[in-house]
Amino acid sequence: MSSIIIAACPVHGHVTPLLTVARGFIERGDDVRFITGAAFADRVTATAATHIALPPDADFNFDDLEATFPERAGLKGTRAITFDVEHVFANPAKPQYEAVMAAHTAQPADVVLAEPAFFGSVFLLAHRRPIRPAVIICGVIPLGIPSADTAPFGMGLPPARLFNRQRNAILAALNRRVWARADDTLDRLHRAVHGQALPGQILNGYTWADAIVQFTVPSFEYPRSDAPASLHFVGPLGATGSQAPLPDWWGDLDGSRPVIHVTQGTVANKNYAQVIEPALEALADEDVLIAVTTGGRPLDTLPPLPANARAAQYLPYDDLLPRTDVFVTNGGYGGVQYALRYGLPIVTTGGKEDKPEVGARVAWSGSGLRLRTERPTPKALQRAILATLHEPCYRQASQRIAAEMREYSGFAALIDVVQRQSAGNGSMLPTTWVHCKPHIGTDLTSS
């Protein structure tokens, strides 16, 4: 039996996939402790893992950051990004680290599984093993490793066809300004903990870990000629087996007309004008059936539904997606991976956090279309949805990714990495990339 610590910032999209990881290790008979925000305690304990609350200065409501940081209100663009990377992600690193070390001291762990935004895990790496456990970064968001072959993470830019490395070098120099205050903060905190400087920029922290496990396949990630050997693609995690009940309108999904599934996930769904409302208007007169999920919000919060629309708070994806023809989303990484498992063409809109990176990869991989705006017009959504529905290239690309996903073992591959690292065998096979010509992706405007 292994002793495992899972660590995640209190962000729904970062915690949820690691709950699946926790459940899998518990079923194997491992001891699992899950360090994250107090709001997720019930969901953690439902997996039979032990919940350990983050210290108060590292635990806040990511759904309402202005409540914790009133000075954040009104910030936009680069100023907002700079604020977030310093205050939301960098400042909690020391209490995050202390929480992990306290848990490890109380009961030694074999491995720490941390998501990329949990910067406290980087502070662990200043210790030599076996003083610290093995540290594995779990890729629950698009891969953010800096590379000469990619634009800096967060810009939502795919590799350029011409002068790619030159462009990326210029953008990297500009991006260092965005991260300068966060890097200074993390360096100061690292000196306070270890009496020595942080080894480099925090974005390189991925590469200092013992292993990086990315929950997708190479064809949905940009090739990096300088990727570390510690990087491993394992494919998406196993299906969640959602127990959402079937709605009374389920019989309408009878195959008589195409099904368009529209979702804004379970967090960024407070403003239906971002995806759901314009999609309903866009498709109201089309010969399709629109299946909408609110992500838990009451159905009476939805705008009026046209005659061809049906709605539920949640739907069982393993039953829904085989009946779906197009997946329309605001770009949550987990939802997109789920749709790709079923070979669905995707339409994604813009957004915050990692969503621009998700949308960029959808377009680059050829598996769908991206609208580079958080609030697309109904006309723009209509064009994108109908294009992905009727033009076979998008479904073909998505089905190629689905076929590749079937070649990866997901959680079983993660177990293999954990076992090697927890046994003290850090040797890994070199990263394998699919060296194929990227598909020609398409970005659309909002009008």
pLDDT of residue 444: 55
For residue 291, give the amino acid letter: A
Residue 446 lies in a domain: no
What is the predicted pLDDT for the residue at 148?
97
Question: 346, 329 in Cβ contact below 8 A?
Answer: yes
Residues 360 and 220 reside in one and the same domain = no
| Contact yes or no for 114/137 (Cβ under 8 A) | yes
Instruction: Find out whether the peptide bond into 130 is cis, omega within 30 degrees of 0.
Output: yes
> 372 and 277: one domain?
yes
> Looking at the domain assignment, is residue 58 inside a domain?
yes
Q: Write out the residue range of the structural domain in which residue 73 sits.
A: 3-235+408-422
The reply to whether 322 and 255 lie within a common domain is yes
For residue 426, the model assigns a pLDDT of 43
Query: Do 150 and 260 belong together in one domain?
Result: no
Residue 87 and residue 394 in contact, taking contact as beta carbons nearer than 8 Å: no
What is the pLDDT, as a whole number, of residue 443? 55
In a domain, 388, yes or no: yes
Does 350 map to a domain?
yes
Could you tell me if 315 and 187 lie in one domain? no
Same domain, 230 and 177: yes
Same domain flag for 42 and 121: yes
Q: What stretches of 86-229 adopt beta strand conformation (E)?
A: 111-114, 134-139, 211-214
Check whether residue 185 and residue 135 sit in a common domain.
Answer: yes
- Give the C-alpha separation, 287 to 295, whole Å: 25
Per residue in 307-345, is it b (16+ CB within 10 Å) or e — as a string?
ebbbbbbbbbbeebbebbbbbbbbbbbbbbbbbbbbbbb
Does the residue 437 lie in any domain? no
Structural domain contains residue 435: no
Question: In the numeric block, which tokens belong to residue 300?
Answer: 């009476």
321 and 222, same domain (yes or no): no
Between CA 303 and CA 332 the distance in angstroms is 22
Residue 230 placed within a domain: yes
Residues 274, 417, single domain; the answer is no
Residue 77 confidence (pLDDT): 63
259 in helix, strand or coil?
A: strand
Q: pTM here?
A: 0.89
Same domain flag for 221 and 260 = no
Amino acid at the residue 282: A
Separation between Cα atoms, residue 416 and residue 136, nearest integer Å: 12
pLDDT for 130 equals 81
344 plus 397 within the same structural domain: yes
CATH number of residue 59's parent domain:
3.40.50.2000
d(CA 411, CA 46): 19
- What is the CB neighbour count within 10 angstroms for residue 247? 17
DSSP, collapsed to helix, strand or coil, labels residue 101 as helix
| Count of the separate structural domains present in the chain | 2
Walking along the chain (447 residues) 10 residues at a time, the average pLDDT comes out as: 95 92 96 97 97 94 80 74 85 96 96 96 92 95 95 93 97 89 93 94 88 97 95 83 83 96 80 92 97 91 95 93 96 93 95 86 97 91 97 98 95 94 56 34 48
Q: Is 274 within the bounds of a domain?
A: yes
Alpha helices (H) along 46-107 = 65-68, 77-83, 93-106
- DSSP per-residue string spanning 232-253: EE--SPPP----PPPPTTGGG-
